[in-house]
A and B are shown apart, each in its own frame.
Chain A
Amino acid sequence: MKRVSLLMVIVFVAVIVLTACGGAKFTCADPKGCVDIAPKDPVRIAYAFVVSGGDASLGTDTKRGSEIAVDEKKEILGHAIELVGEDELCAAEGGQTAATKLAADPKLLAVIGTNCSSAARAAIPILCGAGIAMVSPSNTAPDLTDEARPPEYWCYLRTAHNDNVQGAKMAEYAYEKGFRKAATIHDGSLYADKLQQVFAATFVQLGGTITAREAVGPQDTDMKPMLTRVAATGPEFIYYPIFIQAGGHITKQAKEVTGLENVQLAGADGIFSPDFLRAAGDAVVGFNWSSPDFSAFGAGYGDFLAKHEAKYGEKTLAPFHAHSYDATMMIFAAIEKVAVKDADGTLHIGRQALVDALFATKDFQGLTGTLTCTATGDCADPKIAVYVGQSADPDTWNPGADADSNPMKIWP
């Protein structure tokens, strides 16, 4: 026993002496502190995605985007890259737990995440409090990067498009195709509510009328009474930017309600997934989605898809893998920009400096386009397209602009 404690004292002293030696060459002047990475240690970043539960396809898709970026980059300034992760559960509680756990890691430089805006709202203050940079590949709620966002959001950026863009594009499309009377349905989630607000505002501005604005619960199954109500207002177009379960029920049941048989149905990127084909069945043929425009993506996107298929043996599961890849690459570029390297290979990275470098990202060539970050953290180069469903078989899922893709891009 005594010998063990003696050994521990020796090790402890040795560690202190070594750290002191290292610190002698570099003094950290960063207001948020610095992360020091010893010569053999890896550079550690983390993801916070929803990798379990009903929305796991969204989280798995983005996680794979980050993993491919790590595979490609291999190392930063001679250090290996370590990607760790937490599950954010697509909920505020999950975001809070994941962020608290990640914030406790003193060597963690940056987090890629979250997937869901509600989780982000809980996670951002915690990660920013610890000085950890955060880049989300799929949060689309407008208020996260609004001019009036609270100061404790200072460390947060995103490569996902802002819903202000997506809702407006769908309204433009609907108006251009000759629809003049539209109805919207949301499920009480922040994402759906904002999207339908932006859609309705733009549609009215263009000269259309909104006949009904309804809401359902995300767990509801019987949508026919609500749809009967919508049908009584005589819409030509129904926009419901909600999630897979409720979205599937509405899509199926709308075809069974008198007066809605021939109305154009449309949703957003939250249901742009093969799982939605399973949930909605045959009614998905002719359905319209707004989602990132994959055909306008950078030249590297084809390579990315090939690597994805080789590594995971299947096609991409949701629309945000490329955004996740870009977020990860953007973080790597920023680390390289601010890291100070000692002669023995030790890296020193200032936390504030890293966030500043991320905000300074300009003309960054990513898969999703040319990224330039605004002062409030919007980095996306938003290219939104409208797609149409061609077949209800989930195995045919292959979004693109070709005639045999499903869903097929039809606008712009």
Chain B
Amino acid sequence: MLRRLLRRVSGTTVFMWLIGIAMLVVVVWGVYATLSSGRYKASDWIDLTVYGIAQGSVYALIALGYTLVYGILRMINFAHSEVFMSGPFIGYFVAMALSQSGFFNRQPFVSLIIVLLVAMTVSTTIAVLLERIAYRPLRRAPRLVPLITAIGASYFLQYTFLGLFGSGIKGYPEVAQLKGYWPFPGTSSGILRTQAVVIVSAFVMLAILYVFVQRTKTGKAMQAVSEDKDAAALMGIDVDRIIVITFVVGGALAGAAGVLYALLFKQVKFDMGFLPGIKAFTAAVLGGIGNVNGAMLGSLFLGISESLFPNLVLDGLGLPAPYQLKDALAFIMLVAVLIFRPTGILGERLAVKKA
């Protein structure tokens, strides 16, 4: 028994485990030191967690676009961050038009839904065009070819928006009804109204997607294509159609994520997609790329750890200005998870054919 175990454990594995354990010790030590210093009130921690959930739910909507496409085509759609940017960018012009006519102030929620629909339509259109123009002709090409095309498409879209609309920051109109807090009963803390709206709408959309993938016929066809394209085709599934539908779903979610993002941060810019895109991709890998539930879980985990960990861990270790290390921390988390679970939190072991 012991001998068999020893044979399976190589030097590298031991080394990786040691790194992992060292990380855990540092984290536990940092958390203990921070909490025992008592600098932060309980309400601060609640606030930080809520900020993290709001950010994480936006990541989740973007991450699903990466993970769905990966699940079906085994390719990373790097242009997805521009799909995310284009929706709220065009939505901004609609929002400004509504705002100038006074409609935005009279009917803020109807206006928000109009902006949301416009953004989702734009993002979906761009996602579908990407698939049709940049990816479909290369579907039989070696795997690195669509990856490079995706990076090219990403820059093309980014600089098209820069050329058309300029490099300045565009500020979204604010919704008067969504300013301020909704207090939690019985505590001194509360939740920002915009964050509450963002979290609720993101979760509603995630639930709809979950039902769509698990319960509907199209969703099951998507799963089948993801499992084995050729077998699915033999069973009478139109693979091209399913792939287009995947891009439609991913694009619509990205457009919605963009509007929620604009609601949270109130500004759009031509390069706004880059960083959230990278983060959402990280979250998708963290959760296990190709796995829908994993993407949601990974995103929430990443969002919360970004908002909470600099304070919780690094503060206790005595590091000055820990929030500039937020991004570094996010990627260290990724490394730490991948050491223990190379396929991500909920990742499946890939069969030889898929990998």
Q: Which residues of A contact B (CB under 8 A)?
A: 52-54, 56-57, 188, 213-217, 219-222, 224-226, 228-229, 232, 244-245, 248-249, 252, 256-258, 275, 278-279, 281-282
B48 touches A258 (CB 8 A): no
Residues of B within 8 A of A222 (CB): 51, 55, 264-265, 306-307
Question: Contact partner of A244 among B52, B169, B274, CB < 8 A?
Answer: B169
Given contacts A222-B51, A281-B171, contact A258 B43 (CB under 8 A): yes
Q: How many contacts between A and B, using CB within 8 angstroms?
A: 96
Q: Look across to chain B and name the residue whose beta carbon is closest to the beta carbon of A226.
A: B323
The CA of A219 and the CA of B47, in the complex, are separated in Å by 22
Residues of A within 8 A of B51 (CB): 222, 224-225, 228
A214 touches B48 (CB 8 A): no
A232 touches B44 (CB 8 A): yes
Given contacts A225-B307, A229-B311, contact A252 B169 (CB under 8 A): no
Confirm or deny: B269 has a beta carbon within 8 angstroms of a beta carbon on chain A.
Answer: yes
A215 touches B323 (CB 8 A): yes
The CA of A375 and the CA of B310, in the complex, are separated in Å by 45
Q: Which residues of B contact A (CB under 8 A)?
A: 39-41, 43-44, 47-48, 51-52, 55, 167-171, 174, 189, 192, 264-267, 269, 271, 274-276, 306-308, 310-311, 315, 320-324, 326-327
B266 touches A213 (CB 8 A): no
Residues of B within 8 A of A245 (CB): 169, 267, 269
The CA of A215 and the CA of B319, in the complex, are separated in Å by 12
A228 touches B44 (CB 8 A): yes
B192 touches A229 (CB 8 A): no
Residues of B within 8 A of A281 (CB): 171, 174, 266
Given contacts A278-B168, A278-B169, A281-B171, contact A225 B323 (CB under 8 A): yes
The CA of A225 and the CA of B52, in the complex, are separated in Å by 8
29 example contacts (A-B, Cβ-Cβ < 8 A) are as follows A54-B167, A54-B169, A54-B269, A54-B271, A56-B167, A188-B324, A213-B321, A215-B324, A216-B323, A217-B327, A221-B265, A222-B264, A224-B307, A225-B51, A225-B307, A225-B308, A228-B44, A228-B48, A228-B51, A228-B311, A229-B323, A232-B41, A232-B44, A245-B267, A249-B265, A279-B169, A279-B267, A281-B171, A282-B174
Residues of A within 8 A of B39 (CB): 232
Residues of B within 8 A of A256 (CB): 192
A228 touches B47 (CB 8 A): yes
B310 touches A225 (CB 8 A): yes
The CA of A107 and the CA of B52, in the complex, are separated in Å by 58
The CA of A72 and the CA of B324, in the complex, are separated in Å by 47
B323 touches A248 (CB 8 A): no
A278 touches B171 (CB 8 A): yes
Residues of A within 8 A of B276 (CB): 221
Residues of A within 8 A of B307 (CB): 222, 224-225
The CA of A323 and the CA of B337, in the complex, are separated in Å by 53
Residues of B within 8 A of A217 (CB): 324, 326-327
Which 6 A/B pairs are nearest by Cβ-Cβ distance? A226-B323, A215-B324, A215-B321, A225-B307, A279-B169, A278-B171
The CA of A285 and the CA of B43, in the complex, are separated in Å by 29
Taking the closest CB of chain B, its distance from the CB of A175, in whole angstroms, is 23
The CA of A225 and the CA of B269, in the complex, are separated in Å by 22
Find the residue from B323, B326, B327 having the highest chain A CB count within 10 A.
B323
The CA of A281 and the CA of B274, in the complex, are separated in Å by 23
The CA of A141 and the CA of B33, in the complex, are separated in Å by 38
Taking the closest CB of chain B, its distance from the CB of A119, in whole angstroms, is 17
B265 touches A216 (CB 8 A): no
A279 touches B171 (CB 8 A): yes
- Having A225-B307, A249-B265, one finds 14 other A-B pairs with CB under 8 Å, namely A53-B167, A213-B321, A214-B324, A222-B55, A232-B40, A248-B169, A248-B267, A252-B265, A252-B266, A278-B168, A278-B169, A278-B171, A281-B171, A281-B174
Residues of B within 8 A of A224 (CB): 47, 51, 307
Residues of A within 8 A of B192 (CB): 256
B47 touches A214 (CB 8 A): no
Taking the closest CB of chain A, its distance from the CB of B93, in whole angstroms, is 14
The CA of A226 and the CA of B322, in the complex, are separated in Å by 8
Q: Look across to chain B and name the residue whose beta carbon is closest to the beta carbon of A392.
A: B171
The CA of A278 and the CA of B166, in the complex, are separated in Å by 14
Residues of B within 8 A of A213 (CB): 320-321
Q: Look across to chain B and name the residue whose beta carbon is closest to the beta carbon of A185.
A: B321
The CA of A222 and the CA of B264, in the complex, are separated in Å by 9
Taking the closest CB of chain B, its distance from the CB of A199, in whole angstroms, is 15
Q: Look across to chain A and name the residue whose beta carbon is closest to the beta carbon of B49.
A: A225
Given contacts A216-B323, A220-B326, contact A258 B47 (CB under 8 A): yes
The CA of A232 and the CA of B315, in the complex, are separated in Å by 13
The CA of A281 and the CA of B173, in the complex, are separated in Å by 9
Given contacts A228-B48, A279-B267, A281-B174, contact A214 B168 (CB under 8 A): no
Residues of B within 8 A of A248 (CB): 169, 171, 267
The CA of A222 and the CA of B52, in the complex, are separated in Å by 9
Find the residue from B55, B169, B264 having the highest chain A CB count within 10 A.
B169
Residues of A within 8 A of B171 (CB): 248, 278-279, 281
Question: Contact partner of A214 among B275, B321, B327, CB < 8 A?
Answer: B321
Taking the closest CB of chain A, its distance from the CB of B166, in whole angstroms, is 9
Taking the closest CB of chain B, its distance from the CB of A261, in whole angstroms, is 10
Residues of B within 8 A of A216 (CB): 323-324
Taking the closest CB of chain B, its distance from the CB of A90, in whole angstroms, is 11
Residues of A within 8 A of B327 (CB): 217
The CA of A258 and the CA of B183, in the complex, are separated in Å by 12
